[in-house]
Amino acid sequence: MFIWNSNAASIVAISALACTVLGNTFDPGNLRCISSRNAKFKWIYKRFAQEATVNRILGRRPAQQIGISVYVHIVASSQNETDRYLTDETIHSQLQVLSSDYQPANISFTLKAIDRTINETWANGTDLERMWYDVRNGSYNDLNLWFIPKFHTLGLCTVPTAGDDLDSALTQDGCTIRSDTVPGGSLKNYNLGKTLTHEVGHWLGLLHTFEGGCEGDGDFVDDTPAQASPSNGCPEGRDSCPDKPGLDPIHNFMDYSYDSCYKEFTPGQVDRMRSVWGAYREWAAHDPYMNY
């Protein structure tokens, strides 16, 4: 799970961990992580945290539903099901999981189109920049999803951006997901469709719950307890920051727990996603420049 943000020709990891997955199981012993922080995004998240505090004091919390259009791109090396040429039924099941997980946040998802591409290079997880550029639809407030069979992570998603970063972000925005993480997929412990839930959290501006470890600002959301490192499995009672309030949020969608362990976003995370949507994505529907 990796957050990518475009900046000119480069792809920069923003407060992210890239997790290597070998074979058909996710083995924490094979985890390889890269962590970095971008000063501009740190300032932005601090601003959102301050606004959340003011809104909480004043009792302001947006209640209107956020509706997000979804374009699905299935990439495989052949039309054989064994090559993870996903069916429409599987995609509908995946989006049902996504909608259910975001329903408490009053965020809904509407499938607009499914397309399929046979491209062995892309299916093997290479030349993805070309895939993102060539195969996409909609605007900056529409969610593009690419499902590919082979990938060095379970998934990756762009975070919202603006200003100088926007030109390149427009052509790479969206989420890329390993095909075997869909409901009924072959990746043990990660085949209930929750990888997409996690990645869309990044697309809506959330960081990992273990961001920053036990010290500092963490994920800039007040009601997610501090967490030293990602969870593995579903370790009930884990307390990796014993000097800080609360147990590790192992059931939070923005941790790294098993799919079966995922249950929730916090109210603070819901407020953050809604704020980020309003600031970075909602307006794009009315700007012709923001259409692909």
Q: Where are the domains of the chain?
A: 2-205+266-290
| Average pLDDT score over residue span 197-221 | 92
Tokens encoding 207: 């960081």
pLDDT at 41: 62
Q: What residue ranges in the chain does DSSP mark as E strands?
A: 2-7, 10-13, 66-76, 107-118, 143-148, 155-158, 175-178
Q: What angle do CA 139, 142, 147 make, to 5 degrees?
A: 115
Give the C-alpha separation, 26 to 29, whole Å. Answer: 9
pLDDT at 283: 82
Closest alpha carbon to 182 in 272, 87, 62, 264: 87
pLDDT at 37: 43
Give the C-alpha separation, 149 to 9, whole Å. Answer: 26
| Average pLDDT score over residue span 28-55 | 51
Confidence band of 16 (pLDDT split at 50, 70, 90): very low
Given a cut of 50, whether residue 2 has pLDDT beyond it is no
Given a cut of 60, whether residue 32 has pLDDT beyond it is no
pLDDT at 34: 31
Note the CATH architecture for domain 2-205+266-290. 3-Layer(aba) Sandwich (3.40)
Tokens encoding 102: 């975001």
282 assigned to active site: no
pLDDT tens profile 222-274: 999 999 999 999 999 999 999 999 999 999 999 999 999 999 999 999 999 99
pLDDT at 245: 95
Q: Return the higher-pLDDT residue of 73 and 153.
A: 73
Confidence band of 170 (pLDDT split at 50, 70, 90): confident
Write down the mean pLDDT value for the chain: 83
The catalytically annotated residue of 199, 211, 236, 282 is 199
pLDDT at 216: 85
Q: Return the higher-pLDDT residue of 26 and 51.
A: 51
| Average pLDDT score over residue span 47-68 | 66
Q: Return the higher-pLDDT residue of 238 and 8.
A: 238
pLDDT at 217: 86
Tokens encoding 247: 């147990």
Cβ(158)–Cβ(174) below 8 Å = yes
Q: In the chain, what percentage of residues exceed pLDDT 70?
A: 73
